[in-house]
Amino acid sequence: MDLGLTDKTIIVTGGAKGIGAAAVRSFATEGANVVITGRSPAEGNALAQEVNGLFIQAELSEETACQRVVEETLAAHSRIDVLVNNAGYNDGKNLETAPEEFMASVHLNLSHVYTLTHLCREELIRNQGAIINVSSKVATTGQGQTSGYAAAKGAMNALTREWAIAFAPHHVRVNCVLPAECITPQYQTWFDSLNDPDGTRTAIEELIPLGHRMTTPEEMADTIVFLASPRSSHTTGQLIYVDGGYTHLDRAASADHSKWG
């Protein structure tokens, strides 16, 4: 299926690894011009070389860095068609965290989402483009130990609906994808820090109804790319869970019923 993304210019934040890197590769396969932003120059430049893209090293919590991303993208490609707001980090700021650290966590995970959308809005309107926000199931289910991240991702869900309405008269679509248990490098690092990484992963996978396995970054990426494409031309304001049924299906669906009774 031709997704109609040839020569479109895509900005992917947090695009050097994990879900972002998978999205970069998927967009490149469709013939898009991909701009990768992130903090990791070694990984970012290597990926940019792989996909013939552009890497811009940037600390996106700084407004000036967001401005530079937009300026360098336009200098390279003269247009912006899609913004993928993927950058974020579950920093575990819980209720024991001081209020100023909580607000810093929210700022880290949310400010760039608004800033880049604000800065890209005229290009997106001119090109009748799309925005894809990458949120988290934490915003829906809670986690108990990550107030800042949950607040930022909950705001991202709300902004998806808000911006879908704001951009609708201009034929710009805004959607959100939500991973649950996706096996990213960040997640693997957490597994590796545990006493029983394999046992913990197995326990988590048993909670996922579809296939009893974690979602892959590539599965997330393909949903992102489809939502960004003209093939999804009448879809906007949607929160789409790519999670094997983890978030909304009854946990009993994942249980070994032979042990019941």
pLDDT at 190: 72
**CA 93-143-257 angle, 5° bins:** 160
pLDDT at 184: 81
Rounded Cα–Cα distance for residues 45 and 43 (Å): 6
Question: How many other C-beta atoms are found inside a 10 Å radius of the C-beta of residue 203?
Answer: 10
Pairing outcome for strands 9-13 and 173-179: unpaired
Catalytic (active site) residue 149? yes
**Strands of the 33-38 sheet, one edge to the other:** 54-57, 33-38, 9-13, 82-85, 130-134, 173-179, 239-242
Q: Whose structure tokens read 């247009």?
A: 79
93 contacts: CB under 8 Å, gap ≥ 6: 101, 102, 105, 146, 147, 148, 149
Per-residue pLDDT of the chain (261 residues; tens, 9 = 90+): 799 999 999 999 999 999 999 999 999 999 999 999 999 999 999 999 999 999 999 999 999 999 999 999 999 999 999 999 999 999 999 999 999 999 999 999 999 999 999 999 999 999 999 999 999 999 999 999 999 999 999 999 999 999 999 999 999 999 999 999 998 878 888 788 888 988 889 888 999 999 999 999 999 999 999 999 999 999 999 999 999 999 999 877 766 655 654
Instruction: For residue 202, give both structure tokens.
Output: 């197995």
Predicted structure pTM score: 0.94
pLDDT at 106: 97
pLDDT at 257: 58
pLDDT at 258: 58
Ranges of each domain in the chain: 9-183+216-251
Quote the mean pLDDT of the chain: 94
- Measuring CA to CA, which residue among 229, 44, 242, 11 is closest to residue 116? 11
Which of 89, 114, 149, 246 is catalytic? The answer is 149
Rounded Cα–Cα distance for residues 217 and 200 (Å): 20
192 contacts: CB under 8 Å, gap ≥ 6: none
CATH of domain 9-183+216-251: 3.40.50.720
143 contacts: CB under 8 Å, gap ≥ 6: 150
| Maximum CA extent, the chain | 66
pLDDT at 86: 98
DSSP letter (8 states) at residue 210: T
pLDDT at 83: 98
Quick: pLDDT tens for 192-235.
Answer: 888 898 888 988 899 999 999 999 999 999 999 999 999 999 99
**CA 211-133-96 angle, 5° bins:** 85
